[in-house]
Amino acid sequence: MTLVIDASVACKWFLPEIGSEVADKVLTTEELVAPELIYCEVGNILWKRIRSGELSPDEADTVMAKFLSVPFVLADSRVLARSALAIAARFGRTFYDSMYLALAVARSTVLVTADERMVNSLAATELAGHVRLLGT
């Protein structure tokens, strides 16, 4: 099975959060796919945790090192950009979220996310089958 994973799920693998145990089960999926931007998003989440005092720079670096070892199949953002922009414009999602959605559509699979607002906003659209809330 192939799943697209976003940063909201990926961070749960290495940071103690609500849903971390469920996210760990996703980590055993046969093929994990993500756009290259996942590294930027995870890095930004870690930076925010450093700024808030939740993580030290060394702790964040350890998390990043672990994250970098996850064997993602990476998608070139250039290939997804036009589809992502169309999704963002049509469905009112951020371009970042739309990159993950465009990848799920292109790969005929599902994006697993912890972003409940995104899942709810797409529930009555043709993209509903391409997005799933973590743990459901």
pTM for this model (two decimals) = 0.93
Exposure string over 108-132, b if 16+ CB within 10 A, otherwise e: ebebbbbbeebbebbeeeebeebbb
Name all domains of the chain by residue range, CATH numbers in brackets.
Answer: 2-133 (3.40.50.1010)
**Which position has the token pair 């999926």?**
29
Give me 95's structure tokens. Answer: 């371009």
Q: To the nearest whole percent, how much of the chain has pLDDT over 90?
A: 88
Q: What is the pLDDT of residues 16-54, one digit of tens each?
A: 898 889 998 888 878 999 999 999 999 999 999 999 999
Q: What is the pLDDT of residues 78-96, one digit of tens each?
A: 999 999 999 999 999 999 9
